[in-house]
Structure 1
């Protein structure tokens, strides 16, 4: 079995190929061609969790095991540790092992970009990212590649942290700037990628702005205010997992009958006259799509 490190894993997953693979996988989940059960969540100490996420299809099977501990940032450690193993769907033979955090980060950013392509009527001119960690970095890199003309604004926990983030990625994302708080409601897309358990996005919901919640992954955490959630048309990437993990929606006492799947937006265009929120929680199906991209690039090399 081939084993690939963080750098090698990233190289094998070009962002545009990931978006295309996710588009296919989303439809296959609806059709039942990908089986992706609700992930198993086991508590670790100090608020950490162990996540087990299998998924299978006719062509490939995968299992992702990752540990997530938001407190690691206080100790200079990555928030996510883990691996993804891909197997032959017929024999069960293990094909390769790749870096779990890299798969998670890149496919999560690709899901966001798939959401932008479906839930925004035109390419974004301005994107606001709230957060300054690894997921923020993945999103900046992906947006800069797919939407190079868009201005990417960053809002960090402090002006100093935001400046450090901009300085770090300015070379790869020349349109990256610090958020001007006087113009905070003008972004076409707002993406929250923090570990905060209380809302970091409180601006009034308005048509023409797509708000995407990425960072919160437990039922007691919400990055987006309940007022924004309840005033918007709401989409989720994984309807099954969202009912247990999408704290933004759970704490807003969402009426789940009005929540739509991201996959449905691939078929029916949303009503762009209303505010739209996309909440992503992740699913093994997205990791399976990433492993398809990796396998295809290994076969070509």
Structure 2
């Protein structure tokens, strides 16, 4: 199984490096295209530079919603080191960011975990939380039940106990961990959750879209992966009209132990520094496998 725990540590390292001024990463460039958006995200540290170019087409049926590549360069010379699949890198690094947040913020890390969505991000988050938190059971909910069943079977093949959540309200009440990984523009679960619930909202990344009920956002403690990006892209918070002084970025938690009570929401919209961490991790894996005479 892919090592999500070590990647979450790499995410923490790159956040510390940015705080120390050793990482450069501008806000991502978004260009509208028919049916979707083209996103371009560069980042660099003193070792490597990356450029991730992806397209996001939420209405794709026979093709992946996210497609693209990540170009990895030697920072000192500009020499091309690798071209990585952006879809896989995005899934892994997003799940690792959520895992890091859950490690720091979740009151009950054992679960059950409710995953809403049955695509690449849902699959990665289920694997990451089971590996990194010791979650014992995963509940899967999807707009299409057949896709939920398929993911349950896939997780079962990996040794993960999973079942379909046919009753969303009951599943939301049961879960101590909730991950929303959909393209929905409207809330995907009711605000009938546990008082100690941890919610990772990862699916939406536009100011018009929100997967989490406004009532829950209004009463929860709020965290984000990147504050400047969230202020313009986190529809879950923008539609709720949050006071941004209530919102704390993940990097402030790395060397602190916050005392929390009540629901916690971690909103992630993505940032190039996490792709940088993912690329560094992937290149490290490649070097290890090359040393063993294997291929990535």
Distance, in Å, in 1 between the alignment partners of 2:144 and 2:267 is: 25
The CA deviation at 1:170 is 1.5
What pairs with 1:92-171 in structure 2 (closer than 5 Å)?
92-171=78-157
State yes or no: 1:226 paired with 2:204.
no
Structure-2 residue corresponding to 1:238? 226
Q: How far is the alpha carbon of 1:228 from its aligned partner?
A: 0.8
Unaligned runs of 5+ in 1: 1-10
Q: Is the 8 A contact 1:49 1:67 kept in 2?
A: yes
Distance, in Å, in 2 between the alignment partners of 1:149 and 1:80 is 27
Given that 1:204 and 1:227 are in contact with CA atoms closer than 8 Å, whether structure 2 keeps it comes out as: no
* Further displaced range: 36-45 or 196-205: 196-205
Partner of 2:276: 288
- CA deviation profile, 1:240-274 (whole Å, cap 9, x unmatched): 11111111111111111211001112122233212
Which structure has more relative contact order (CA 8 Å, sep 6+)? It is: 1
Is the partner of 2:118 in helix, strand or coil? coil
**Counterpart in 2 of 1:71?**
59
CA distance in 1, matches of 2:201, 2:160: 24
Deviations 1:33-70 (A, max 9, x none): 21121100000112x01000011111211110000000
Match of 2:19 in 1: 30
Equivalent residue, structure 2, for 1:271: 259
Find the residue that maps to 2:157 and give its secondary structure. coil
Distance across 2 between alignment mates of 1:266 and 1:207 = 24
Which stretches in structure 2 are left out of the alignment for 5+ residues?
291-296
TM-score, L = length of structure 2: 0.91
Q: Report the Cα distance in structure 2 between the residues aligned to 1:206 and 1:123, rounded to whole angstroms.
A: 13
CA distance in 1 between counterparts of 2:129 and 2:205 reads 22
CA gap 1:53/1:83 in 2 versus in 1, 3 angstroms: same
Do the aligned residues in 1 keep the contact of 2:174 with 2:194 (CA within 8 Å)?
A: no
Residues 144 and 172 in structure 1, CA contact (< 8 A), matched pair in contact too: no
Distance in 1 between the 2:269 and 2:176 partners? 22
Cα offset for 1:132? 1.1
SS at match of 1:108: helix
What is the CA–CA distance in structure 1 between the aligned matches of 2:54 and 2:136, rounded to whole Å? 33
Q: Say which SS state the counterpart of residue 84 (structure 2) adopts.
A: strand
| Deviation larger for 28-37 or 177-186 | 177-186
Question: Does the aligned pair in 2 maintain the 1:205–1:231 contact within 8 Å?
Answer: no
Determine if contact 1:144/1:173 at 8 Å carries over to the other structure.
no
TM-superposed deviation, 1:165: 2.4
Structure 1 Cα separation of the partners of residues 108 and 12 of structure 2: 18
> Taking structure 1 as the reference length, what is the TM-score of the superposition?
0.90
- Give the number of aligned pairs: 287
